[in-house]
A and B are shown apart, each in its own frame.
Chain A
Amino acid sequence: MSAASGRIGASSWRERSVLPGFGLSFGILVTALSLIVLIPLAALVLKAASAGPEAIWALASSPRVQAALRLSFGAALLAASINLVFGLLIAWVLVRYDFPGRRFVDAAVDLPFALPTAVAGIALAAIYAPNGWIGSLLAPFGIRIGYTAAGVLVALIFIGLPFVVRTVQPVLAEMEAELEEAAALLGASRWRIIWSVILPPVLPAAMTGFVLAFARAVGEYGSVIFIAGNVPMVSEIAPLLIVIRLEQFDYAGAAVVGVLMLLLSFLLILFFNLLQAGLRRRLGHV
């Protein structure tokens, strides 16, 4: 009996396992994560704090910073919302309908993940500039997209496009046809079926996609700066402010803007996640 006693409680924070390599793999993970992600982010917070409360407040309340944050977050929310609607539509079309080139379109949806943002940036700028393919069509009507806040929106729609499609698609694909058939047998109209049978189970997944698209869009830089025109107070995004501060060697200022961005976006993501959790509970998901 005594032989066993020495082996108990070797480590209580993890369950013992015969698989070798926990120490090594955990060590590599934590070291890499700390060196590459955590310590640098801690330095960001530290630097921002070193600016002192007055400086932080002055920066946070400066009209230019506020305008940039408003633009970044507002455009990101709007872009994610547009992607929510069209993402649902595209997922629906890809899962439910068959048409020539469907598989090709399906694969192409991921393009924004694969296409470097700078490439997307100059491409969008060329299309929506006043003399571009689409820009020149809109110019006679007095509509300008390139070099305005609308250009920011266009870029953010592009980079956030795949998220909702990819989160909703599997849920739609797995949905049992019987649900719809049962509803139809109960006499529900097609629109009623879409509204009260199909949409509820899809919504939490769509919400996940929405949050991912939003998180990506808030911090986006490369695809935006070419098309935005970067006019202060009008089409200047928050990440660009960081770059400008850095170019002026105002490290603390850059760090403060960075922390403001992270704080705001984490708060919003948290809010959306809580909303989504509530949604899931209401709709009877586990």
Chain B
Amino acid sequence: MSVALQIEKAARQFGGFAALKGVSLAIEPGELLALLGPSGSGKTTLLRLIAGLDHVDGGRILFDGIDGEALSLRDRRIGMVFQNYALFRHLTVAGNVAFGLKARPRAERPSGAEIERRVRELLDLVQLQGLERRYPSQLSGGQRQRAALARALAIEPRVLLLDEPFGALDAKVRKDLRAWLRELHKRTGHTTVFVTHDQDEALELADRVAILNQGQLEQVGTPDAVYDHPATPFVCGFLGETNRLPVEVRGGQAWIEDRPVYAASQTNLSGRADLYVRPQHLKLDRPDAALLGGVVELVRRHGAIRRAEIAVRGLAKRLDVDIGGGVAPARGERVGLRITKAHLFAAT
């Protein structure tokens, strides 16, 4: 197996707080991996450990098989795009991009003409032609991000790291840049790790998504895998919306009070458990045809679809149910519900 970056049981403590509790993760060459998690989950800590901007308290991080601790920051060759870009404000765009090349020891430093050529090439790549003489303060947010990217790419990085690359941008620019970044990655093929708290961003952009929570890796896999087959209740709840139904598992069925609501044949759980059902996996049915039923409390618009809130006997919380193109039920109407797909986890 070829691995560009191997993280082995990486741990980091801040004072008494364990920011990272032994995370292991292998990143393949050329892959675009998202580190996804809520704030405080340890994703930025992990990114800084990879960058060498922070040191592990336990475990290690291998670059092409070499322990990162043995590498100087220069030898790690990490291209990092910082959250607020950290562009050098007193240097022009060209000066920023050339910084890494000019900083090389004299023997390895390219000639002035070569540096100029590389800078032009990179600015073409990130579509900042003609802006090389601008200062960072004269750029828009999106342009700054691309300048920071060009600067990071200039050192021909082993791994490209992006810390919340779209965090500082407004919604419209964010969408455009997302597509553009994926396109760029396809063209250049850099091994790339980016941190985000935005699930849509991670699912749309990444080859694989690593989901972190409270300093631990919950799951890593392709966007489809983590979305369709969440390994933990956290992943299930964090990716997309979900209803949590406390159930009792016995005899291959999940029960709410005296009603079997879902066939739990593929689990070895028994006793109290939680059933996670996404709103789109609840289908309306005739009240008498389904074992799960309730009263419509509210119907509201939710983007392209409509969503009903349904109060079910035996459940403390109303269920969110997506309604397709059909006729929306009226408020107060009794409806039946069918679960087409769900995930069952031991009760927390």
Contacts and interface: CB of A to CB of B under 8 A. Distances in A.
B73 A7 contact: no
B230 interface: no
B61 to A, nearest CB: 10
A1 interface: yes
B60 A4 contact: yes
A4 B58 CA distance: 5
A8 interface: yes
B297 interface: no
A8 B57 contact: yes
A1 B9 contact: yes
Interface string B1-18: 000000011000010000
Interface residues of A, number: 9
A7 B55 contact: yes
Interface in B47-66: 52-60
Interface of A is mostly: loop
A15 B45 CA distance: 14
B60 A3 contact: yes
Nearest to A10: B55
Contact of A18 (B9, B53, B67): B53
B69 interface: yes
B328 to A, nearest CB: 43
A239 to B, nearest CB: 45
Contacts of B59: 1, 4
Given A1-B8, A1-B9, A3-B69, A18 B52 contact: yes
Nearest to A17: B54
A282 interface: no
Contacts of B56: 4, 7
A16 interface: yes
A18 B54 contact: yes
B265 to A, nearest CB: 40
Contacts of A3: 60, 67, 69
Contact of A8 (B8, B53, B58): B58
A194 to B, nearest CB: 40
Interface of B: 8-9, 14, 52-60, 67, 69, 73
Interface of A: 1, 3-5, 7-8, 15-16, 18
28 contacts: A1-B8, A1-B9, A1-B58, A1-B59, A1-B60, A3-B60, A3-B67, A3-B69, A4-B56, A4-B57, A4-B58, A4-B59, A4-B60, A4-B69, A5-B58, A7-B55, A7-B56, A7-B69, A8-B57, A8-B58, A15-B14, A16-B54, A16-B55, A18-B52, A18-B53, A18-B54, A18-B55, A18-B73
